[in-house]
A and B are shown apart, each in its own frame.
Chain A
Amino acid sequence: MRHPPDERRGTTVPTVYQALLTRRYLTRRIMPLLSALAVALSTAMVLTTWSVMGGFLQVLLDSGRTFVGDVKIYWPSRGFPDYEDLLARLRADEDHVAAATPVIETFGFVSYPNDRVDGMLVYGIEPESYDAVTGYFGTLHWGPEGSPAPKDSNRADLRLAPLSALANALLHIGDMSPAALARALRMTWDDVLANGKSLSRLDYETGERRPAATLGIEASGLNIRQPGWYDVLPPQRTRPDGGVETIDQFLPLNGKITLNVLPIDEKGRAVETISRILPIANEFRTGNYEFDKRMLVVPLSLLQQMLHMDEAERRVSPGESPFEIEVDPETGEERFVRPEVELEPARVTTVLVRAARGVSAQTLRDRCEAIYREFADAHLDRAPPRPQIATWEELHKDFIGAVKKEIALVLVLFSFISVTAVFLVLAIFWSIVNEKTKDIGILRSLGAGRRGILWLWLRYGLCIGVIGSIVGGALSFLIVRNINPIHEWLGSALGITIWDPRVYYFSEIPNKVEPGAAAMVLLGGIVAATVGALIPALRAARLDPVRALRFE
């Protein structure tokens, strides 16, 4: 038989005709485009779901760290004393600890200017060290703003105009003395930001600084969300006569709230209700809806006072009766027995710790446990023996675990749906192979082998998978990158609200494409298309060439 040696390989290795025909079949038929579209839509669906759900989890974890740090040492209710020593020990371990801060966590009721009362999580903090652990300063919303948000074409954001303009509209000479009014009108956005950082605000009447609170931006309900910023609703209060009274207040300028907390004794019983009227210094926006809706921050020293957790004298040996009489050895006169007292140090419920660069939260937790053991040994009589020491993830492991399971479940469900893409490709390829049966017969008559025909169709499926996956990946990227504008458009145009921040914790839909997840999904799309093409390809390869040529 006559065929040159190099040509003998012709029918056993991939040849050029597969590439040529794949190119032609792809560009001159509608069916492969439908297959690629099926792969693209499935890929985009899975990748978008994964990105949003994965982004949701990531933002959940990140936002947790934003206000809680990496590790929390927690002894609720009465808290623990000598925390300054614990902080010193923690801060000394610079290899593991970047920062540590004392906090009191408690529950309180807040009364707003419009007489609404909400239960709130109240944090007593030292602003500087709390910022070092949690990045608190970066969450303060009201402050100087140089440029408008992308969608704020009308420059409607309050922060873009001088605060004095707002103050002029709100403040009246009848409500304030001329001196107080002058002080208030001199306020700038920089001052508001500084107030938030120092947790204090100027008392306009006296000119002195007073402890103040910062509120979560969603807490008061007096701010309405616009794309990228918040507008202000003036508080309205119902009058006794049934009318409605509008109060000229902007919380960070002249607003006040009343904070009510319940100090408890060593047995956990509420002693009394302590109320304080507090000016609002600023509002914070963490992006975590729960924090932004339910949290109030006040100076640590103030909350220590209100909860009776500040430094105080404690009677050590009170004697049998408070009316016991003794004789003064110097004067010889009788007097009441003086009880022996010692100084009771201030307490906190929580110490938050931030890990040094490169140290994992788990490693830091282990170090914190060791450091706390040393601290407890040094304060045997007063330190709680076993406080809760946990990473933020561990504290919320049930919730995070549920989210992870939900993500896995959703992905499995969507992957099942995506399997339909395999069958869709299979059906379309079956139809294409049917349509191209004669081509297969022609190629066989020209000497194409079964393997060559098999590879032709597999290659075709592979190309459709690659094209579909790339298009799907790009589509998903566009959707994920613009998911919040798309959501806003759905809301404004069709009245559809899919993402409710009250349910999902975050004000905006997370939008993060993980490269690893994207690679897996794109590869899955390619494999799905190739698998979908496999059965029709096998059928094509097995076709009897004579029957294929006679196929009508």
Chain B
Amino acid sequence: MSEFLSARAVSKTYRLGRVDVPVLREASISLRKGEWVAILGASGSGKSTLLHLLGGLDRPDRESRSAIVYEDRALSDMSARELDRYRAHNVGFIFQFYHLLPELNVIENVLVASMVARGRLGYRLRRRALRERASDLLGAMGLSHRLSHRPAELSGGERQRVAIARALMNEPDVLLADEPTGNLDHKTGQSILDGIAQLRRQRDQTILMVTHDPAVAARAGRVVHLRDGRVVEGRDERSRGAAGE
């Protein structure tokens, strides 16, 4: 399988007051279709930043060698609108703190992804089908009975499942999960990881997961270690990752 999303020697420096703080230092990583890759690193190692760069939420420092490439096209060559479309259609984010919109109920939180991705007409024409898809996704997450509830009325695990359904709503090529179990207890975290593993198996979904927990990272097919903004070591367990566990 050829790589279809990669970060090549990307650096990212944040400016805190008058001080430049390098977060990523020529970090490189590549994903192949259907892979489940975990980026393992301590807090502050730059793993979330790398995830954001790969998801087009942020841009790396301008260096000649650095590039984020998706299907042979550098994200840096994309206009802002193209980058918006990339986020809307090609990647799906799952965050540690779920990041649901508190004013919307469960099904609206899932549907909002397709509302953002489609024009008014595009959404209106497919509203029924999209609603069915959102219901199906939430049903698969065991949330059929929670469709009209608001995020505040859900448990942490339920919120994260809504976030996963939202991330999958537009059928993205890559799921980018930032500490998806970081805010959950062990049992709930395991159930979320089970769900992700199931996705991997059933949809051949490409998944890039960021975590600081080696046990969580161990669920992935391949683990990449990040330390002080650099990829320092990697464990390729492609066969296990491809099997989903």
Binding site for B on A (CB under 8 A): 1-3, 6-17, 20-21, 24-25, 28, 438-439, 441-450, 452, 544-546, 549
Chain A interface, >50% SS class? helix
B31 to chain A, nearest CB (A): 16
- The answer to the question of B192 belonging to the interface, with a C-beta cut-off of 8 Å to chain A, is no
Residues of B at the A interface (CB closer than 8 Å) are 49, 52, 55, 57-58, 70-71, 73, 80-82, 84-90, 93, 95, 99-101, 103-104, 108, 112-113, 115-125, 166, 173
Whether the Cβ atoms of B80 and A449 lie closer than 8 Å is yes
- Which one of A3, A14, A28, A441 contacts B88 once the chains associate, using CB atoms below 8 Å? A3
Contact yes or no, B89 A7, CB < 8 A: yes
* Residues of the A chain whose Cβ atoms lie less than 8 Å from the Cβ of B88: 3, 7, 10-11, 446-448
Let me know if B57 and A10 touch, CB within 8 A.
no
Q: In the bound complex, do residue A442 and residue B101 qualify as a contact, i.e. CB atoms below 8 Å apart? A: yes
B118 touches A546 (CB 8 A): no
**In whole angstroms, what is the CA distance A21 to B104 when docked?**
8
List the B side residues contacting A446 at CB < 8 Å: 87-88, 93, 112-113, 116-117, 166
**How far, in whole Å, are A139 and B5 apart by their CA atoms in the complex?**
90
Pairs A–B under 8 Å by Cβ, sample size 11: A8-B85, A9-B119, A10-B88, A11-B85, A11-B88, A15-B119, A20-B108, A21-B104, A446-B87, A545-B58, A546-B49
> Which of chain A's residues has its CB closest to B104's CB?
A24
Distance from A17 Cβ to chain B, minimum over Cβ atoms (Å): 4
Partner of B116, one of A8, A10, A24, A441: A10
- Contact status of A15 and B84, CB under 8 A, knowing A7-B118, A546-B52: no
| Chain B residues with CB below 8 A from A546, complex form | 49, 52, 57-58
Given contacts A1-B85, A6-B121, A445-B57, contact A17 B115 (CB under 8 A): yes
Query: Nearest chain A CB to B134's CB is how many angstroms away?
Result: 13
Contact indicator A13/B71 (Cβ below 8 Å): no
Q: Are A442 and B57 in contact (CB under 8 A)?
A: no
Which listed residue (B49, B73, B120, B122) contacts A1, Cβ 8 A? B73
**Which of these, B52, B93, B123, contacts A15 with CB under 8 Å?**
B123
Contact B85 A20 (CB under 8 A): no
Across-interface contacts of B121 in A (CB, < 8 A): 6
* Cα of A11 to Cα of B80 in the assembled complex, Å: 10
B53 to chain A, nearest CB (A): 9
What are the 7 A-B residue pairs with the smallest beta carbon separation, nearest first?
A447-B88, A24-B103, A17-B115, A9-B119, A3-B89, A11-B84, A447-B87
Question: Distance in Å from the Cβ of B58 to the closest Cβ of chain A?
Answer: 5
